[in-house]
Amino acid sequence: MALTGLENNDLKLIIFGGKGGVGKTSCAIATALALSENFKTLLISTDPAHSVSDCLEQQIGFKVTKVAGTGNLSAIEVVADEALSVFISEHQSELKKLLETSTNLDNQDIDEMLTLSIPGIDEVMSFKTIIDFIEEGQFDKYVVDTAPTGHALRLISSPKMLDEWIKVAARMRWKYRYMITSFSGSYQPDEVDTFLLSLKKTVKRIENILQDNTKCEFIPVCIPEAMAILETGRLLEELGKSGTIPKQIIVNNVMVSEGCDFCKTRKSGQLPYLKEIRDVYSGLTMVEVQMFAEEIKGLHALNRLRICLFGTSQNNQNTKNQYN
Ligand SMILES: Nc1ncnc2c1ncn2[C@@H]1O[C@H](COP(=O)(O)OP(=O)(O)O)[C@@H](O)[C@H]1O
Ligand SMILES: [Mg+2]
């Protein structure tokens, strides 16, 4: 079976997730390469380990960069900390005013609070960066590589976290509003209210795209091993709570060769796990990827993986020739 439906014009955002080391980065890049044949594609890594640069053997970083050796593929590594500091510096005055008008903190306390990290806010900012890209509309497809499961889940649940924060801020504002109205009889919404409203819109925008399975698809990556299967189960359960329902699952590192005792043993050891994945996820299309003898590094190796994921169509064949 091959990955299907990703070329659908409505589908904008494709997110890969799963346990550490199962092949998310490799599959995300191979998918982005395949899509970039026909679509202007942006590969976005939210993994702080910068593995996209390592796998592509090209320096990417926190700036949209054309991937050398490809026609229409660009990439960016979104660093959550940096996304957060960009947000704080862009909205410094609104955040300061929110705290000044709503609390009894002095200036030094407020400066300290602004430098403190709010749990989860960095992931929120990563996702906001992704949504901003989608809304700018410079690309047709956005392929996201995430760090291991916990991170992907935080990313997916980020709108909820931001919503909680906005609620607290709105309560603080409400008290301020009440006070001003009591003193002066009326209240004019200011830049802090506008800022909170725009954040609320961000939450809605993120939720709307995550829950719209014509626009967004989450592809879990798993391997035929006990721990990975357990973690995939937890991942899919949590995803379901956010309304994100996958359609297909990649099972990577499947042993094909029986050429030696080692391979035979590995292969037969995988059989019960493959059966378990097939049984448990019978509703999902299962895309098996063989274990290669070499690691997947550089465009040539990524193209081999891409052929496993998408089959060898005419287009794939052209690209195969280009990389071979
Ligand atoms: N099908 C495969 N065959 C051989 N090596 C693979 C395969 N898929 C991934 N790898 C290798 O496994 C390691 C982990 O893959 P990676 O894509 O970085 O996983 P993740 O992003 O889930 O941590 C990398 O060294 C990669 O080259
Ligand atoms: Mg990775």
Task: Determine, yes or no, domain membership for 211.
Answer: yes
Which atom in ligand 1 lies closest to the alpha carbon of residue 21? 23
At 12, which helix (H) or strand (E)?
none
Task: Determine, yes or no, domain membership for 3.
Answer: no
pLDDT in tens, 102-112: 766 666 666 66
Q: Where are the alpha helices (DSSP H) in the chain?
A: 24-35, 51-56, 80-90, 92-102, 107-115, 121-136, 149-156, 158-184, 191-211, 226-241, 261-280, 298-310, 314-323
| Structure confidence at residue 324 (pLDDT) | 36
Residue among 54, 205, 36 at smallest CA distance from 45: 54
Task: Determine, yes or no, domain membership for 7.
Answer: no
Residue among 274, 282, 271, 219 at smallest CA distance from 250: 219
- Please tell me the pTM assigned to this model: 0.86
Ligand 1 close to Cβ of residue 23 (< 6 A): yes
Q: What is the pairing mode between strands 248-254 and 285-290?
A: parallel
Q: What are φ and ψ of residue 59, in 5° steps?
A: -75, 125
Domain containing 318 equals 13-323
Torsion angle, CA of 205/210/216/219, rounded to 10 degrees? 150
pLDDT in tens, 22-40: 999 999 999 999 999 999 9
Smallest-distance ligand from the CA of 55: 1
| Structure confidence at residue 256 (pLDDT) | 92
Task: Determine, yes or no, domain membership for 113.
Answer: yes
Residue pair 75/94 in contact by the 8 Å Cβ criterion: no
| Structure confidence at residue 141 (pLDDT) | 97
Ligand 1 close to Cβ of residue 26 (< 6 A): yes
Nearest CA to ligand 1 atom 15: 23
Number of domains observed in the structure of the chain: 1
Q: What is the CATH number of the domain that holds 67?
A: 3.40.50.300
Quote the crossing angle between the two packed helices 92-102 and 107-115, to the nearest 10°.
130
Gap from CA of 64 to ligand 2 centroid (Å): 19
Ligand 1 close to Cβ of residue 25 (< 6 A): yes
Q: How far apart are CA 317 and CA 311, in angstroms?
A: 9
Q: Identify the segments of the chain with pLDDT beneath 50.
A: 314-324
Q: Using CA of residue 147, residue 153, residue 158, residue 159, what is the dihedral sign?
A: positive
End-to-end CA distance of the chain: 24
Which atom in ligand 1 lies closest to the alpha carbon of residue 293? 4
- Report in angstroms the alpha-carbon separations of 320 from 33, 67, 252, 324: 11, 17, 21, 6
**CA 241 centroid distance within chain:** 17
Task: Determine, yes or no, domain membership for 259.
Answer: yes
Nearest CA to ligand 1 atom 4: 292
- Which residue shows structure tokens 């990556």? 221
Task: Determine, yes or no, domain membership for 5.
Answer: no
Task: Determine, yes or no, domain membership for 282.
Answer: yes
Read off the tokens for 150. 């916990």
Residue pair 84/122 in contact by the 8 Å Cβ criterion: yes
- Which residue shows structure tokens 């990290």? 117
Task: Determine, yes or no, domain membership for 214.
Answer: yes
Give residue 227's identity as a one-letter amino acid code.
M
